[in-house]
């Protein structure tokens, strides 16, 4: 499969350009030790080539959905989490002699109804239909999603087992666990203020996880959706967009590939994802504070209806703020891409090094301009993806190579022996990596005894 995305969500034009991807003959998946049977060839995921377009970054304009489904789901959430508890609590409190403790117990049971439907549906899609909706696996390697049930022992091969769903599913599961604590404990104590704090207990773990993703980690031993272990992680909002579009809106793995390509290619899109994560962390803090203010200053009769319904107007208001920021940022990204395609995008393609075991050495994994701005923000995102192979069209690469090579000795044109034959050129930029280093890392296996770095995007502290 191959595609050539470009542009932003506002573009109405269809994708332009396409390039066929081929599996390299010397890849790790074809060695004698790891060779797959002929019937498993279809299970091997090939990295898609993305042709960069000077007019727009890789496209995400395939995201579409019928309006009825989200509206019906929203009404379902409001019915289960607001209407049903209120219809039970207030009439029973007025017209019966049922104690507040019993009413809270009944209300807690009603609040958990919606999660009994949406969570199993996501799990079903990520397990039974993992080939279509699940996270991307290593390129050029057999995807465990294609293997027969029971072949992978669950605890023996945890990162490769079917149970690894995606970032959103694991975050949602953690949030539901903390959400269930006040629902189960508060009626038994009884502690009514703790019960009214149920939704902040649902939101707080998400805010903490989002805060942890503001730093780009390169040493995590587990998967983050489609990002393999020990590869640069992304902000939490990015994972929510990739996972929700692929699973909940049923755009599948093609959507995941497009998100990976967009994130790797566009520095301003990465910046947008980072600031969106910050925006929602602040928003969740505002929500928690608002519920706490109502919970601690009102009676149970008033606080019951307000606290369980406040999450919906808050989500609407913060969603509109988020939409305005995204809309402005995408326009800014589009303008930046057109203005800096030749000066910032092409010269700053990040190529894979010898330590990257999931792709041919010398291919382009992302775009990463020199760090700018405050020092504490410089590690907030990385322009790298194991699933994206960015290439410059020949008509764009030739003039740029001539100009940049004469202007700066740090840029060079190299021949990719693993991909495309002797005429396939890739732009390489690294102020600390010279010709000798490149020849050593791309000509074949290393002959020295130096251990490869754990970060597949860096070597000795320099972009490779």
Instruction: Please say if the pLDDT value at position 291 is more than 90.
Output: yes
Which of the two residues, 413 and 83, has the higher pLDDT score?
83
**CA gap 145, 168 in Å, rounded:** 19
What pLDDT is attached to residue 116? 82
Helix ranges (H only) for 231-343 are 236-243, 252-265, 267-297, 300-309, 311-340
Instruction: Please say if the pLDDT value at position 62 is more than 90.
Output: no
Instruction: Please say if the pLDDT value at position 398 is more than 70.
Output: no
Q: How confident is the model at residue 162 (pLDDT cuts 50, 70, 90)?
A: low
Which of the two residues, 302 and 439, has the higher pLDDT score?
302
What pLDDT is attached to residue 396? 61
Cβ(279)–Cβ(321) below 8 Å: yes
Average pLDDT over residues 35-61: 71
Which of the two residues, 458 and 196, has the higher pLDDT score?
196
Residue 335 neighbours by CB distance under 10 Å: 11
Range in 62-71, 87-96, 393-402 the model is least confident about: 393-402
For residue 35, the surrounding DSSP H or E stretch is none
Token pair listed for 283: 């928003």
Instruction: Please say if the pLDDT value at position 165 is more than 90.
Output: no
pTM for this one? Answer: 0.75
What pLDDT is attached to residue 235? 94
Average pLDDT over residues 42-57: 79
Average pLDDT over residues 199-212: 96
Average pLDDT over residues 123-144: 83
Domain boundaries, the chain: 28-56+341-463, 68-334
Question: Which of 137-146, 148-157, 342-351, 405-414 is the most confident on average?
Answer: 342-351
Which of the two residues, 310 and 365, has the higher pLDDT score?
310
What pLDDT is attached to residue 334? 95
Please state, rounded to an integer, the average pLDDT across all residues of the chain. 74
What pLDDT is attached to residue 280? 97
């Amino acid at each position: 499969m191959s595609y050539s995305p470009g542009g932003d969500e506002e573009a109405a034009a269809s994708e332009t350009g396409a390039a066929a991807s081929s599996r390299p003959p010397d890849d790790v998946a074809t060695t004698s030790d790891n060779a797959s049977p002929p019937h498993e060839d279809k299970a091997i995921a090939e990295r898609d080539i993305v042709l960069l377009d000077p007019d727009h970054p890789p496209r995400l304009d395939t995201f579409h959905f019928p309006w009825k489904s989200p509206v019906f789901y929203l009404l379902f959430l409001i019915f289960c989490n607001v209407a049903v508890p209120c219809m039970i609590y207030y009439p029973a409190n007025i017209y019966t002699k049922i104690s507040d403790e019993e009413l809270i117990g009944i209300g807690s049971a009603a609040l958990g109804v919606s999660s009994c439907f949406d969570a199993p549906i996501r799990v079903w899609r990520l397990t039974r239909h993992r080939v279509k909706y699940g996270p991307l696996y290593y390129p050029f390697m057999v995807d465990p999603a294609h293997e027969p049930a029971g072949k992978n022992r669950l605890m023996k091969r945890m990162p490769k087992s079917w149970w690894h769903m995606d970032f959103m599913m694991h975050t949602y599961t953690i949030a539901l666990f903390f959400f269930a604590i006040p629902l189960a404990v508060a009626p038994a104590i009884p502690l009514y203020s703790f019960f009214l704090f149920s939704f902040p207990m649902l939101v707080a773990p998400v805010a903490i996880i989002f805060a942890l993703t503001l730093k780009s980690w390169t040493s995590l031993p587990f998967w983050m959706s489609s990002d393999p272990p020990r590869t640069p992680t992304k902000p939490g909002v990015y994972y929510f967009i990739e996972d929700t579009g692929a699973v909940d809106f049923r755009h599948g793995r093609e959507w995941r590939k497009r998100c990976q390509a967009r994130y790797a290619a566009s520095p301003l899109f990465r910046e947008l994802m980072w600031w969106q994560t910050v925006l929602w962390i602040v928003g969740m803090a505002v929500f928690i504070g608002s519920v706490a203010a109502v919970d601690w200053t009102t009676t149970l009769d008033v606080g019951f209806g307000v606290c369980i319904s406040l999450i919906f107007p808050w989500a609407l208001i913060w969603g509109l703020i988020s939409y305005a920021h995204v809309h402005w940022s995408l326009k800014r990204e589009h303008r930046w891409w057109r203005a800096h395609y030749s000066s910032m995008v092409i010269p700053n393609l990040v190529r894979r090094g010898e330590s990257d075991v999931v792709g041919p050495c010398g291919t382009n994994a992302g775009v990463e301009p020199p760090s700018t701005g405050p020092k504490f923000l410089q590690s907030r995102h990385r322009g790298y993806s194991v699933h994206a192979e960015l290439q410059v069209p020949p008509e764009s690469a030739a003039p740029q190579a001539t100009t940049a090579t004469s202007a700066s000795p740090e840029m060079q044109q190299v021949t990719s022996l693993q991909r495309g034959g002797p005429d396939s050129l890739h732009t390489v930029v690294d102020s600390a990596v010279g010709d000798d280093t490149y020849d050593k890392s791309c000509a074949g296996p290393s002959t020295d005894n130096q251990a490869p770095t754990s970060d597949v995007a860096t070597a000795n502290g320099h972009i490779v």
